């Protein structure tokens, strides 16, 4: 296998409490810590392990967004990725547009494997990998907790509702990873310094012949309503009564 493409999305750090802007136009990001989507970080770690075992020659990290996403790409390079590509877009892009961007990059780079997080923690769509596989006409294995590569075949352990499922897919393919696949490595200062010298290419959407035409328009954001205060009951009978009073039984 030659090249692995890995998607890295810039999101609000998972330790930060998300706040909606006062005008309801979106989530507040000014002055907020931004990080790599945690699922994407796991995907990158897995790609690096595959390369380090000698099953791939190059790992390329890709992000789509504003120039600020260079920070997350540099972190990916510090983790060990060989190259980075930033596809610049002033506006947020929907999963289908992201899939089309990756399809174009696959053709440019002749990638053999695309590793993505199973979802992003901001939109929680869990759609990009599936859409990309459909556009590419290649197999997909989603929600992966284990990945083994042997020749032109990938054996994937998937997390499903009833437990685990093991599937084999022919490469090239798309794999989306779950939380239990691995533990991403810690980035050290010397690696951060080395990452500054690694190539980071910047492209525009129109250079990839991709149109940004979202099928869904986000109109307004609202924070969730406050949770009601809990009630302590003395016994099972009181619990049943309380549930009945709320119309839950």
pLDDT, residue 229, reads 82
Q: Is a pLDDT exceeding 90 seen at residue 222? A: no
Distance CA 98, CA 111 (A): 16
**CB of 127 closer than 8 Å to CB of 176:** no
Q: How many CB atoms lie within 10 A of CB 44?
A: 27
Give the separation between CA 55 and CA 50, rounded to whole angstroms.
5
pLDDT digits (tens, 9 = 90+) for 139-178: 999 999 999 999 999 999 999 999 999 999 999 999 999 9
Q: Does 185 have pLDDT greater than 80?
A: yes
* Domain range annotation of the chain: 3-245
Mean per-residue pLDDT of the chain: 92
Bond from prior residue into 157 cis (ω within 30 degrees of 0): no
Q: What topology is assigned to 3-245 in CATH?
A: Rossmann fold (3.40.50)
Q: Is the pLDDT score of 213 beyond 80?
A: no
What average pLDDT score do residues 52-58 get? 95
């Amino acid at each position: 296998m030659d090249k692995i493409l890995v998607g890295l999305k810039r999101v609000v750090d998972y330790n930060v409490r998300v706040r909606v802007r006062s005008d309801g136009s979106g989530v507040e990001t000014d002055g907020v810590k931004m990080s790599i989507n945690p699922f994407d970080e796991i995907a990158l770690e897995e790609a690096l392990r595959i390369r380090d075992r000698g099953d791939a020659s190059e790992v390329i990290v890709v992000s789509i967004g504003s120039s600020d996403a260079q920070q997350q790409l540099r972190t990916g390079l510090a983790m060990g990725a060989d190259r980075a590509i930033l596809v610049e877009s002033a506006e947020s892009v929907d999963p289908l547009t992201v899939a089309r961007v990756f399809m174009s990059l696959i053709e440019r780079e002749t990638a053999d494997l695309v590793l993505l997080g199973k979802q992003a923690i901001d939109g929680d769509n869990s759609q990009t990998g599936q859409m990309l596989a459909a556009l590419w006409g290649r197999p997909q294995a989603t929600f992966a907790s284990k990945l083994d590569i042997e020749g032109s075949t990938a054996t994937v352990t998937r997390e499903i509702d009833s437990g685990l499922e093991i599937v084999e897919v022919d490469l090239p393919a798309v794999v989306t990873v779950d939380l239990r696949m691995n533990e991403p490595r810690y980035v050290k200062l010397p690696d951060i310094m080395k990452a500054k010298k690694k190539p980071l290419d910047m492209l525009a959407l129109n250079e990839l012949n991709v149109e940004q035409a979202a099928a869904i328009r986000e109109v307004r954001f609202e924070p969730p309503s406050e949770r009601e205060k809990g009630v302590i009951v003395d016994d099972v009978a009181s619990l049943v009564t309380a549930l009945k009073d709320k119309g839950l039984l």
